[in-house]
Structure 1
Amino acid sequence: MSTDFDRLPFQPEEYLARRDALRTLMAERGIDACVLNSTENMYYLTGFGSLAYGATSLIVRQDGKAIWVMRLTELSNIRALKGKIWADEGIGVPDGHDYATVLARTIADFAPGKAVIAAEYGTIQTAVSAFVRPKDDAIVNASGLVEHLRRVKSAAEIDLLRKAGHIAAKSCQDGFAALREGMTDTELAMVVSDSMLANGSHRPAKMPNVCAGPRTARAHVTWCGAPISRGELVNIEPAASVFDYHTPIFRFYSIGKPSDRVLRLFEVCKEALDEGFARVRPGMTSHEAARIFESVIERRGFAEWMVTRPAYSIGGSFPPGWGEDNVMAIRRDHHAILEEGMCFHVTPCLYEDGVGCVGASMPSVLTANGFQSLSGDEVVFGVK
């Protein structure tokens, strides 16, 4: 029986508008049916997002009809949402049966004749995607179609990201309040994670990154049970989730005064963040915006330790991560145009071996007047 816990994060009209926007793109490209397999894209279009065991595909026809092909037991999720999502019909694949055979048969039945079929290949790991090619000339690459629609967030999406941002900020504040000499990074991670859940976060796509000392220079490492010493650099990076819309935030702390080098790294990153907030506007290219952040760091002589882009898109996400780099990013040599309603984790960071990772982070929505915070807190280096 359906309950209020099954409710979708947005009204049906928003999902139908997303579906119809995809249909328009399909018509422009002469595509009769799309085979989607990105969890994020299927969630964006329908409101159904599940960590299903086994393969899951959504076949969307140009006339707006759709059908799921998924493991038989996972089909229970679609039955529970019958009448609540526009794509509420599915084919179940029993355990031990060949998924590819069932999928191929369903596509042939659902889009018969000489239909032009497009399938997503962009969800394959980058390292191998270049080697994967359609086996039939009728199958074209649908990668990027739904991602294009996901770049600009609706007001309802931004509201969820803002709620998640405030939860994430509170978890960092609670972590800082609990920080004490000798506590382990694991104990600190427990505080941060407990705070997120206690303050309303849904299931996060990834646990927080929490660690201390020079080890923080290793990207995305997290707790290992190491005690935290006085003066050590402490990294806390959680992403809270509301209906799978994730807002990450990165904060930097220490017990007692950190090294002068750490403080200098933070000052440079904070200056870059402030410059970006002052100057980045819709209508710029991604490259132009990136150079605003990067030029500050370069002028201050810290370019050697700038090894990542200044900002990446955020939105609805599922494991293994919370970012939308494949949707949009602010990075050098990327010439997509920035638009109002795009949401980013803006985080100019510096990684120096032997010192650690230091940055200045603010999850933000891009408005006509520039970036606006989604977390409502201040960017400071916290010392206690």
Structure 2
Amino acid sequence: MALHFTREEFDARVRAATAAMKAERLDALLMFRQESMYWLTGFDTFGYAFFQCMVLTADGQLVLLTRAPDLRQAQITSTVTDIRIWRDREGANPALELRDILEELELDGSRIGIELEAYGLTGRSLRMFDRAMEGFGVMIDVSTLISRLRLVKSDAEIAYVRRAAELADDALDAALAEVRPGAFEGDILAAMQGAVFRGGGDYAGNEFIIGSGEGALLCRYMTGRRHLDPVDQLTLEYAGTYRRYHAAMMHTLPVGSVTSRQRDMHAACEEALLACEDALRPGTAMGDVFQVHADIFDRAGYGDHRLNACGYCMGTAYPPIWMDWPMFYADNPVVLQPGMTFFLHMILMDSDSGTAMTLGRSSLVTDRGPEVLSRHSTDLKSA
């Protein structure tokens, strides 16, 4: 069995989840988020792309409904022992089989929580689920119930995040060795991803983001590789990933020469990042951290070029994205606590001049304040 945490830790997570359910007066929880299943039991798969649900009852019973390819996956990677398989066939309706499981657990007429905010629950699957569950209990959206429990990391989880951050730094070292005028973006990506794999890491929840020229102003991956011009700019957003735990980082590197505009934008990004990191203290609302970011950029005259969010939680994440709940945006009331890990990104995209500048890294909230999880400085890096 390939468990990445002790049985005792998984048992404690189940107890925490059932306590949260009882506080919400829930008799059962239907999990469609792969992150929830992994955190609760260790179950590790991409099979959530199909209909898949893990049931947790208020008394701690766990039942997994999945497809045949994930039977052994669950047996090997998780603590779940009650695994039910729905059979692929024309006209298959796994939602009806889920209802049968709930009836077997004597949950008819109960209050049942469901994770609606889940990539594993498509619109088509939800319609099928709603039809199957018509007249069966009271279904309540509790999409963040497990996510809230996942926010504060255990010591074992923090160790994985630290290792992920080391791998992210290794990836940047590998990139810096490749970046020069004429360099091929594909070689840069290969070096970065290779550093993570050589360090025992995993694929990230989304693609590493790389863009040069006008593509440096993008915050998303796009297909198509190019060679760097003699004078260019390169934006890299990437994450080290270890045991599915992420630590993201971000840099924009001037190539060939550095303009005064780039220096000025970097100075604003550096000031904002350091100030936001300093605000990562227990008791601070996430919306207040965002406001620090906004105020600094606005005073520097970059209000039109900043984004409406400046980071988000780092934790376990599955494709299509490594962003985890919650996010730093205006008025977010979530309060910081020790053991939370976050990625703060300062992003300026000036389409008027065609200039990009970004700076970001991951940090841990502690009793003593913020702990930056990168060995790299905030200095402007260029090639």
Q: Please, what TM-score do these two structures have when normalized by structure 1?
A: 0.91
Percent identical among aligned pairs is 20
Deviation at 1:128, TM superposition (A): 6.9
Deviation at 1:356, TM superposition (A): 4.2
Residues 245-284 of structure 1: pairs in structure 2 closer than 5 A: 245-284=245-284
Q: Structure 1's 64 and 111: CA in aligned 2 closer, same or farther, altered over 3 A?
A: same
Which residue, out of 323, 330, 348, partners 2:328? 330
Aligned residue in 2 for 1:19:
14
Aligned to 2:304, what secondary structure does the other structure show? helix
Within 2, Cα distance between the matches of 1:65 and 1:128?
A: 28
Aligned residue in 2 for 1:357:
356
Within 2, Cα distance between the matches of 1:244 and 1:71?
A: 22
1:261-283 deviation line (CA, Å, top 9, x unaligned):
22221110101111223344210
Residue identity matched to 1:371? P
1:51-108 deviation line (CA, Å, top 9, x unaligned):
1152211000111011000012311212335xxx442211101111321121111111
Within 1, Cα distance between the matches of 2:216 and 2:319?
A: 22
Within 1, Cα distance between the matches of 2:321 and 2:151?
A: 17
1:304-346 deviation line (CA, Å, top 9, x unaligned):
111131220010011011110xx22222111111111111001
Q: Structure 1's 113 and 224: CA in aligned 2 closer, same or farther, altered over 3 A?
A: closer
Aligned residue in 2 for 1:239:
239
Within 2, Cα distance between the matches of 1:160 and 1:140?
A: 33
Kept after mapping to 2: 8 A contact 1:246/1:315: yes
1:135-182 deviation line (CA, Å, top 9, x unaligned):
446222221110110111112111101101111111111111111221
Aligned to 1:26, what secondary structure does the other structure show? helix
Aligned residue in 2 for 1:372:
371
Aligned residue in 1 for 2:180:
180
Q: Structure 1's 110 and 126: CA in aligned 2 closer, same or farther, altered over 3 A?
A: closer
Residue identity matched to 1:339? Q
More moved, 292-301 vs 72-81: 72-81
The alignment yields a C-alpha RMSD, in angstroms, of 2.3
Residue identity matched to 2:341? C
Aligned residue in 2 for 1:381:
380
Residue identity matched to 1:211? G
Aligned to 2:153, what secondary structure does the other structure show? coil
More moved, 191-200 vs 343-352: 191-200
Aligned residue in 2 for 1:71:
67
Aligned residue in 2 for 1:115:
110
Aligned to 1:348, what secondary structure does the other structure show? strand
Kept after mapping to 1: 8 A contact 2:33/2:120: no
Within 1, Cα distance between the matches of 2:9 and 2:315?
A: 15
Gaps of 5+ in 1: none
Gaps of 5+ in 2: none
Deviation at 1:114, TM superposition (A): 2.7
Within 2, Cα distance between the matches of 1:66 and 1:126?
A: 19
Q: Please, what TM-score do these two structures have when normalized by structure 2?
A: 0.91
Aligned residue in 2 for 1:214:
214
Within 1, Cα distance between the matches of 2:149 and 2:364?
A: 16
Q: Would you identify which runs of 4 or more consecutive aligned residues in structure 1 move more than 3 Å?
A: 124-129, 131-137
Aligned to 1:328, what secondary structure does the other structure show? strand
